[in-house]
């Protein structure tokens, strides 16, 4: 079940809202959210529900055992917890990848695990690990209620596509959270606009990207390949940021305050700035739980390079068990290292427009590495993008289904800018601003439902993670 499905919008979400607001006690609300969250996960993969509950149980017990222990004894509890968490991800996500590469290396046939990837395993595993590590560091007390810890891990708004919510962010709200009509309306508004980003822009851009990147179409005109690269960059942004908006919005409806996950990343003027604005919860997770423990940038320069290499190697692997993701991680490692070697002062002397254009160019190339898992196809597409092959107009006139995304491309590009925030700040000062916002929300929601009724095309990029 995905947020942009009619079952979720017209059945699941209304039911959970009715049940939640009909209860008064925080325990009743937590139990309600827990049951609906488990149902949400079991809807797609009932078997793997037990895997998630097992991981929650292991971390709950070991975190409780850490309480009031000295550091060495806490470490003895932390290590098996990490072994279970990392082991589950390694087995399901990377098991077949390792076997395939060993088979190629050794030249012998090896059996495959052949199990489907549990939905959202990378997201909920990182949440569980952050909780247990924070208890080990004595930054948070161990949660005494198994119900509350299960709610934290399985909470359906952020379960399958993030953002990665740190335990300390919502620990207090698991015990006592405030629900109000203004907060609910704020959350509903955020949810609807996130839904619009996904259904209108992400799905529209996906049509062009999916059509162009079908195998066997690598010899397309260079202009069309660049249009498809822009379309995919817009698709992944509106798909992922739209889901984050919906998650944050639903969190508000239930009284939770999730942190922001995107901050207009395509406005960035450097790769460093881009990664401060893109998938913020993942970047801060790797910073706090990998980069800083390795020494961060407070070490000798060669060691800092090693730390960056580890972080970006793991970032690439986190996104998928394929060489293109590792290559993508190394691509950003080299770009970020180059920016450190050049220095912030030198970069800031360049014209702002040039820095912005260069950043967008490098990000577009990065998305091609991310999108095309077949390295042969990737090489052909990149070569085609820098070729002089013509015929874009002829292709578009012959493929009318590619024209619809093009009509959306300009408004989608504008939507990447903080235009909405600016307009909202202006509208708040006008008479009837709330009325206008409510009307716009109703119209947008109706449009999204109408589009979902009229099409079965509703891809979701982040299921693989």
Encoded tokens for 50:
């037990």
Cα angle vertex 461, ends 457, 465, to 5°?
145
Q: Nearest Cα to 286, choosing from 307, 260, 255, 271? A: 307
Catalytic residue ranges: 319
């Amino acid at each position: 079940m995905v947020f942009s499905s009619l079952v979720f919008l017209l059945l699941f979400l209304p039911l959970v809202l009715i049940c939640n607001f009909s209860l008064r006690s925080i325990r009743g609300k937590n139990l309600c959210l827990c049951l609906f969250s488990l149902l949400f996960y079991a809807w797609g993969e009932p078997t793997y529900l037990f895997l998630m509950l097992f991981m929650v149980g292991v971390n709950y017990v070991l975190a409780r055992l850490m309480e009031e222990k000295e550091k060495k004894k806490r470490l003895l509890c932390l290590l098996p917890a990490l072994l279970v968490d990392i082991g589950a991800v390694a087995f399901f996500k990377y098991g077949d990848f390792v076997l395939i590469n060993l088979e190629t290396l050794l030249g012998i046939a090896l059996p495959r695990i052949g199990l489907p990837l549990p939905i959202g395993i990378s997201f909920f595993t990182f949440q569980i690990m952050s909780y247990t590590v924070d208890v080990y560091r004595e930054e948070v007390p161990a949660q005494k209620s198994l119900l509350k810890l299960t709610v934290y891990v399985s909470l359906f708004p952020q379960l399958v596509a993030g953002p990665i919510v740190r335990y300390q962010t919502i620990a207090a709200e698991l015990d006592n959270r405030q629900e109000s009509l203004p907060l609910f309306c704020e959350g509903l508004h955020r949810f609807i606009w996130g839904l619009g980003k996904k259904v209108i822009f992400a799905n529209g851009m996906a049509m062009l990207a999916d059509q162009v990147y079908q195998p066997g179409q690598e010899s397309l005109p260079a202009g069309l390949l660049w249009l498809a690269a822009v379309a995919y960059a817009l698709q992944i942004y509106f798909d992922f940021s739209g889901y984050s908006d919906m998650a944050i919005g639903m969190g508000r409806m239930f009284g939770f305050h999730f942190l922001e996950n995107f901050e207009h990343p395509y406005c960035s003027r450097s790769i460093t700035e881009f990664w401060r604005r893109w998938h913020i919860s993942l970047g801060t997770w790797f910073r706090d739980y990998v980069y800083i423990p390795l020494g961060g940038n407070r070490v000798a320069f060669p060691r800092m390079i090693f730390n960056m290499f580890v972080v970006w190697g793991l970032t690439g692997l986190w996104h998928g068990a394929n060489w293109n993701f590792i290559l993508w991680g190394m691509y950003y490692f080299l770009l970020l290292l180059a920016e450190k070697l050049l220095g912030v002062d030198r970069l800031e002397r360049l014209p702002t427009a040039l820095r912005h254009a260069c950043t967008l160019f490098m990000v577009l190339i990065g998305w091609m590495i991310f999108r095309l898992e077949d390295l042969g196809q990737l090489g052909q597409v990149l070569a085609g993008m820098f070729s002089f092959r013509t015929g874009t107009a002829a292709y578009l006139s012959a493929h009318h289904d590619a024209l619809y995304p093009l009509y959306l491309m300009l408004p989608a590009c504008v939507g990447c800018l903080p235009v909405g925030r600016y307009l909202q700040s202006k509208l708040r000062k006008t008479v009837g601003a709330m009325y206008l916002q409510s009307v716009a929300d109703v119209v947008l929601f109706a449009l999204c439902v109408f589009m979902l009724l009229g099409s079965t095309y509703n891809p979701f990029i982040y299921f693989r993670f």
